Amino acid sequence: MAERPREPKSKYTADRDIAGAFEGETVTRRRFMTLTTHGAGAVAVAAFALPALGFAAGTAIFERPKASWEPIGPTGDFPSDSYVPRVVTEVTGVGEVGKTTVYVRARNAEIDGPPDPEIDTNFVAISTRCMHLGCPVRYVDAAKRFICPCHGGVYDFRAAVAGGPPVRPLDRFYTRVRGGQVEIGPRYSVNSEFDRHPKYRDPGQPLDGIGQYLYPGRFSTPLLNSQ
Partner 1 sequence: MKLPKLPAPPLPSALKPPPKGPGEREKTGPAHEVKDAGIAAVDWVDERTSLSGGLRWAMFRKVPKGTNWFYTLGSATLFAFLSQAVTGVFLAMYYDPSATRAYESARHITNEVFLGEFVRGMHKWGSTLMVILIFLHMARVFFFGAYKYPRELNWVIGVALLILTMAMSFTGYLLPFDQRSYWATIVGVNINGTGPLVGPFLSDFLRGGAEFGATTLSRFYAIHMLLIPGLIAALIGAHLYLVAKLGTTAPPWLKSEPAEELHTERV
Choice between 12 and 215, CB closer to partner 1: 215
Task: Report the amino acid identity of residue 75.
Answer: T
Choice between 73 and 164, CB closer to partner 1: 164
Cα 193 to Cα 126: distance, rounded to the nearest angstrom: 16
Cα 207 to Cα 205: distance, rounded to the nearest angstrom: 7
Angle at Cα 50 formed by Cα 45 and Cα 51, nearest 5°? 115
Minimum distance, C-beta of residue 209 to partner 1, in the bound complex (Å): 13
Minimum distance, C-beta of residue 196 to partner 1, in the bound complex (Å): 17
| Strand partners for 104 | 84, 125
Cα 153 to Cα 156: distance, rounded to the nearest angstrom: 10
Contact between residue 79 and residue 106 where contact means Cβ atoms under 8 Å apart: yes
Choice between 169 and 222, CB closer to partner 1: 222
Contact between residue 67 and residue 96 where contact means Cβ atoms under 8 Å apart: no
**194 in helix, strand or coil?**
coil
Minimum distance, C-beta of residue 172 to partner 1, in the bound complex (Å): 16
Minimum distance, C-beta of residue 222 to partner 1, in the bound complex (Å): 7
Choice between 180 and 216, CB closer to partner 1: 216
Contact between residue 193 and residue 116 where contact means Cβ atoms under 8 Å apart: no
Q: Given the rule CB under 8 A, which residues bind partner 1? A: 56-57, 59-61, 63, 65, 90-91, 93-95, 97-98, 133-135, 150, 201-205, 214-222
Choice between 14 and 135, CB closer to partner 1: 135
Cα 171 to Cα 201: distance, rounded to the nearest angstrom: 9
Count of residues making up the chain: 227
Minimum distance, C-beta of residue 95 to partner 1, in the bound complex (Å): 5
Choice between 26 and 92, CB closer to partner 1: 92
